[in-house]
């Protein structure tokens, strides 16, 4: 399905350049795939809680050491014709850092994606981005699946393919590949998700309209 942005007039899935993609307003959605602007998944509250948790935990550990953590609007040129906006990304203290503005050509050490529930978006995170991030040279790819409540840590091999490094569903995960000394409390993460309200907000909206 092709849709058109009211803000920019750029139609989703029409061919655009990296310069056009980079200059889109921050609130304009879309990733660049094979030279075409395509729609991103629409994040829900569960997704946002997890992304905030990842940024908070990674930032609290990396930033005091001179590392850097970026949020979900950072635009990476993962190939000559594709640009992605991971849910979170991070640079180790000794790594070359990204520029202050424009599309980022410097691969981060870590990219994080929170899997969305639709099959199309799950395929994008587990198949398409898997190959793109590997080719881009991202050393560690973290995949968090809220539906399965799992964390997968993949590490880039010498053949530019990801291999399984660690996976967990709950408890405290220590010995994080590449981040010695960091531990991830998955029980705390899922407890934070449980602070959210009901599965759907439709009931609350109906209650308001009835008043």
Q: What percent of the chain stands above pLDDT 90?
A: 63
Q: Residue 134, CB half-sphere, CA atoms under 13 Å: how many?
A: 18
Please count the other Cβ atoms lying within 10 Å of the Cβ belonging to residue 161. Answer: 12
> Are the C-beta atoms of residues 96 and 106 closer than 8 Å to each other?
yes
Q: pLDDT category, 207, cuts 50, 70, 90?
A: low
- Note the maximum CA span of the chain: 62
What pTM was computed for the model?
Answer: 0.84
Rounded to an integer, the average pLDDT of 162-185 is 94
Residue 58's closest CA among 183, 188, 146? 183
Q: How does the average pLDDT of the chain come out, rounded?
A: 86
């Amino acid at each position: 399905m092709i849709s058109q942005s009211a803000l920019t007039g750029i139609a989703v899935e029409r061919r655009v350049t990296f310069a056009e993609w980079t200059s889109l307003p921050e609130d304009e959605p879309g990733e660049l795939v094979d030279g075409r602007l395509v729609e991103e998944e629409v994040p829900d509250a569960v997704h946002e809680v997890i992304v905030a948790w990842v940024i908070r935990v990674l930032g609290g550990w990396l930033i005091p050491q001179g590392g850097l953590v970026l949020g979900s609007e950072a635009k990476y040129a993962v190939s000559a014709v594709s640009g992605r906006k991971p849910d979170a990304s991070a640079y180790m203290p000794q790594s070359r850092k990204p520029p202050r503005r424009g599309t980022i050509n410097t691969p981060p050490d870590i990219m994080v994606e929170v899997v969305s529930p639709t099959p199309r978006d799950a395929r994008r995170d587990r198949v398409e981005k898997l190959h793109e991030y590997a080719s881009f040279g991202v050393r560690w790819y973290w995949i968090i699946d809220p539906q399965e409540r799992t964390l997968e840590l993949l590490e880039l091999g010498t053949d530019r393919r990801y291999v399984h490094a660690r996976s967990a569903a709950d408890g405290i995960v220590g010995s994080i590949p590449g981040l010695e000394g960091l531990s991830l409390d998955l029980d705390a993460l899922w407890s934070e998700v449980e602070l959210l309200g009901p599965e759907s907000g439709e009931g609350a909206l109906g209650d308001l309209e009835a008043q």
